[in-house]
Homo-oligomer: A and B are copies of this chain.
C-alpha cells in the first residue's frame, strides 16, 4: 500500500471513531506501531488529530483548526500548562471575554462545563461553548478572518462597545518593556475595545513571546492586570513586568531532559 493512501486511511479511521488506540491502528493498517506513531505525528502537526497517552483523538474539521500554527508538540504542552494556570483566575458565574488564538482555545476547553457567561469573537471557541448548556454564549460579530476564524473589525468594535464583562482573556504576539504587541492591525483595534469592556485584563502568552515585539503596539504593560506565562521567563523580565503593576502567574512546566 502506498504511503499517502495509508495516511489517508489512518486519518479516516481516526475521524470515524473519535478515539483510536495505537495497537489497534497498527493491526488494522498492517504496519508497526512505530510507523503509526510517525504518521500520527504528521497528523498532529497538521492539526487533524491530537495524540494522547494511549492513542489519538480526532480534532479535525468539526472545530476548524487547520491553521492553529504548526503547534510543535512541545509548545503545545506549554499552552496547556498556561491554560491550566489561567482558568484558576476565573470564578464561577463570571462573565468573561475570550479572544482567538491557540492558547486561548485551550483555556476555553478547560472552562467548558462551568457556569459562565462567555463572550467571544473566535469561531472555534464559540463552537466549543455552543453545545455547553451550563454557560451562556454571546458571539461578537464582524468580519471573520478565514485564516484564524476570528471576527474583528469595525462591526466587532461596535458590538464590543455594547457589552461589559468582568474579565477579558487574550493572547499576544509579543511583549517587551513598552508593552504588548500583536500582528493584525484590525485585531489590535478590536482587542483594545475588549480591554475597555472589561474590569480585568488577563493576557496569556508563552515565554518565547517575551522580549519580542510585533507589528502593532497594543498597549503599555500597566494596562494589563494579569499575565500568565510558563516558567521559561527569566528573572529580569519578571522584575520589569511586576514593576509595571502586572500580576504575574507562572505555570510550571515539567522539563523534558534537555538541560
Interface residues of A (CB under 8 A from B): 9, 12-13, 15-19, 21, 24, 27-28, 52-55, 57, 62-64, 66-67, 84, 109-110, 112-113, 121, 123, 126-127, 129-134, 136-144, 146, 149, 151, 155-156, 158-159, 162-163
Contact = CB atoms under 8 A, between A and B. Distances in A.
Given A18-B57, A112-B16, A146-B131, A139 B141 contact: yes
B144 A142 contact: no
Provide the main secondary structure of the chain A interface.
mixed
A57 B19 contact: yes
A123 B139 CA distance: 9
B130 A146 contact: yes
Contact of A146 (B63, B109, B132): B132
Nearest to A121: B141
B64 A131 contact: yes
A69 B67 CA distance: 28
Contact of A159 (B24, B57, B141): B141
Given A19-B52, A53-B54, A113-B16, A136 B143 contact: yes
A131 B69 CA distance: 13
B16 A134 contact: yes
B123 A151 contact: no
A12 B132 CA distance: 9
Nearest to A118: B144
Contacts of A84: 24, 27
Contact of A138 (B54, B137, B144): B144
A18 B17 CA distance: 12
A56 to B, nearest CB: 10
A216 to B, nearest CB: 22
Contacts of A27: 84
A127 B123 contact: yes
B66 A131 contact: yes
Most buried by B among A52, A131, A138: A131
Nearest to A110: B24
Given A16-B112, A18-B57, 11 more contacts: A12-B134, A16-B113, A19-B19, A19-B57, A52-B54, A54-B54, A130-B146, A136-B143, A138-B144, A138-B155, A139-B139
